Amino acid sequence: MEREIAENAADMTAIGANVPAEFDAATEAEPVLTKQAPANRPKKRRIDIEEIYGTLFAAIPLIGFCIFGLVPLILAFAMAFLDMGTGWDIAEAEWAGFDNFVYLFSTASDEVGISIFEAIGNTLILGISTFISQILALGIAYLLSRDIKGRGIWRIIYFIPYVCSVVAITIMWRYMFNPSYGIINQFLGNTDITNGAIDWTDDPAMFYVTINIISIWSGMGYGILLYTAALTNVNQSAIEAAEIDGAGAFTKFFRIVLPSISPTTFYLLIMGVIGMLQSFTITNVFDSSGGPDKHGITIVFFMYQYLYDWQNVGVASAASWVLAALILIVTLIQFIGSRRWVKYD
């Protein structure tokens, strides 16, 4: 028996080893499983115990979600209609109707210094990097998928920024972007702001550019990784067929490669946009007061200031409503739009 288990274990490694690396191996393995399952599994025996254990084991993360996710979620919606004065004590809450929303939408909020609409605008402008880095990542991944040497080494280098903390990266880049002693202005040959040097950190418009550059630099690795994996799976015979038909490099790329990696593009786009709408860390570390003209105040930054600095839970909750609605709408639009261009096999 011992031996048999060991034997199976050895078989297992052949299958198992592939699973994490080869993302399609799991799907290949699943039909095998369903074929075997009815044959090997006694149908009625121990069904009750299995039922209990199965439900219990499976429920652990769901219990966690109910306590730390569902309860706050419900509360989040309730609290937007409460006035809790200053502070976080829910016992002091009073019904406020739509006051928080009226306040949120009507004023260029005195506390934070900008309105929620400006915060949304900042978030979107600072989030342009999401799309740029995705396109660049595809480009690099496409080059990596060609017949080149040292693919592993390139990929290790390109992935470095992803494992670095955003805090450290932001601090590093803030130093390099310093207008008077940063390496970037030295490279551009002008470190005198009074004399036309680019003010990367304090000029409101350039601030957007600076933050976007940092985001692109730190965010590309993930896209490169997923795109490289997707590109190795592109159907080779389709490309060869196109070649025989006389298709050029561009036709091949846009007509065959791009459609066949569209699920990856879609995944990266969805996750990227959801992440982008929740951005906070880079601008908060770069300038905790919000940057020039408050251009660094994103939606989450806005919420954070109301929640923590101004201790106005009602308005902060109303702002989370806005964020949730925005994410929902954008995700829905992407899902609906995806029917036109995402091709699953």
Give min distance, CB of 4 to another protein, in A: 6
4 binds another protein (CB under 8 A): yes
Q: How far apart are CA 136 and CA 76, in angstroms?
A: 38
* 339 lies in the binding site for another protein (CB under 8 A): no
Q: What is the C-alpha to C-alpha distance for residues 188 and 176, in angstroms, rounded to an integer?
A: 12
DSSP summary character for residue 307:
I
- Which CB, 26 or 108, lies closer to another protein? 26
**Residue choice 150, 204, 241, 309 for contact with another protein (CB under 8 A):** 150
Write a three-state SS string for 210-258: HHHHHHHHHHHHHHHHHHHHHHCCCCHHHHHHHHHCCCCHHHHHHHHHH
Q: Is 166 in the site for another protein (CB under 8 A)?
A: yes
Contact between 177 and another protein by CB under 8 A: the answer reads no
**Which of residues 119, 269, 276, 285 is near another protein by CB under 8 A?**
285
205 versus 328: smaller Cβ distance to another protein: 328
Residue (183 or 205) nearer to another protein, CB? 183
Nearest CA to 332 out of 274, 263, 275 is that of 274
- Whats the size of the chain, residue-wise? 345
- Could you say which of 85, 108, 117, 175 contacts another protein (CB under 8 A)? 175
Tell me the closest approach of the beta carbon of residue 205 to another protein, in angstroms.
Answer: 23
Segment lying near another protein (by CB under 8 A), choices 31-39, 99-107, 120-128, 203-211: 31-39
Tell me the C-alpha distance between 125 and 211, whole Å: 10
Q: Which is nearer to another protein, 128 or 274 (CB)?
A: 274
d(CA 59, CA 80): 30
* Pick 208 or 227: Cβ nearer another protein: 227
Q: Which of residues 191-250 bind another protein (CB under 8 A)?
A: 191, 217, 222, 225-226, 229-234, 236, 239-240, 243
Q: Is 90 a residue that touches another protein (CB under 8 A)?
A: yes
Nearest to residue 8, comparing CAs of 16, 38, 30, 31? 16
Number of residues lying near another protein (CB under 8 A): 143
Is residue 278 within 8 Å of 240, Cβ to Cβ? no
User: What is the DSSP-derived secondary structure letter of residue 92?
Assistant: G
188 forms part of the interface with another protein (CB under 8 A): no
